[in-house]
Structure 1
């Protein structure tokens, strides 16, 4: 299950109900999907073929189509990052810059782990959402954030989009970010 670390106070929030309630107050969708839907041969695989990616999408099809229908997503894909990803560190530097999007940024973690750093309300400031397999998050449009890997340095995630052209980031310079 996800865990939240509030940067300004050092407070940690854990447990499904507590994490859900906190994120809901920040306008962030949080769900947890059953990773047992994923075939065992894909549960710890981070170097994926196109066929593997299609199998992951097929495995989570019920959850994906439910969420897409409820929130207007029209396209989805799978991204896999690990130390075997070419130029991983350069790619992470691109991700690890505060930015916004003109649509929600949705990630469903199928395997591994990752961190969304999100700007919360004025009384909260920036907080980290540490995600594990099964965690699903949707950062609202125009909300400053970025994604990075945990020390595990591997993740497989389903991404859902409203705009068929996919992921477009708009840099967000914020002196409050630390």
Structure 2
């Protein structure tokens, strides 16, 4: 995982867009973003460590998503577009990268700057409920990830708007990070 401020320059969203301003895990934690490294070749398999973290965090369900042209078929372009639209969820977004790589961009509050998080195999990333974010593939054009959920799997994006600013999950998120 590598985190830095997004440069906001026009161009292909799949490129680095590195501003040259790196960030560390401590900064991400202040925003409620959690991160673990769980190597795929962990002795005994990565599953045991993922299961331990899932139990600790209360993640009860999981599935796998394969974001490739082959994996998504005719939905590939529309799904990539919807993933990259700025949005929030009322649940945490938890991803463990099995193969490939991509970018999660999160909005820093209160500066409203984009922070780009480049994830690779073995990265486990938790995006908190209520934070504005987006996702895109990088130049490899593929990622396979284990998705973990606290309850039944659901993925409901709420596009950023005046309405989402008054969403109880957004309000709670802003209140929690202000207390850090």
Using structure 2 for the length normalisation, give the TM-score.
0.75
SS at match of 1:36: coil
RMSD, matched Cα: 2.3
The question of whether the paired residues in 2 share the 8 Å contact of 1:98 and 1:173 is answered with no
Q: Where does structure 2 lack aligned partners over 5 or more consecutive residues? A: 9-18, 163-180
Q: 1:81/1:67 Cα in 2 relative to 1: closer, same or farther (>3 Å)?
A: same
- What's the CA shift for 1:124? 6.3
The question of whether the paired residues in 2 share the 8 Å contact of 1:117 and 1:126 is answered with yes
- What's the CA shift for 1:162? 1.2
- What's the CA shift for 1:7? 2.5
Q: How far, CA to CA, are the matches of 2:45 and 2:158 in structure 1?
A: 32
- What's the CA shift for 1:106? 0.6
Partner of 1:24: 29
Aligned: 1:80 with 2:66? yes
Q: How far, CA to CA, are the matches of 2:129 and 2:20 in structure 1?
A: 26
The question of whether the paired residues in 2 share the 8 Å contact of 1:3 and 1:12 is answered with no
Q: How far, CA to CA, are the matches of 1:70 and 1:141 in structure 2?
A: 18
Partner of 1:173: 161
SS at match of 2:41: helix
Partner of 2:52: 66
Q: How far, CA to CA, are the matches of 1:5 and 1:83 in structure 2?
A: 28
Using structure 1 for the length normalisation, give the TM-score.
0.75
Q: How far, CA to CA, are the matches of 1:123 and 1:94 in structure 2?
A: 24
CA distances 1:39-82 after superposition (whole Å, capped 9, x unpaired): xxxxxxxxxxxxxxxxxxx9532122212212111101111122
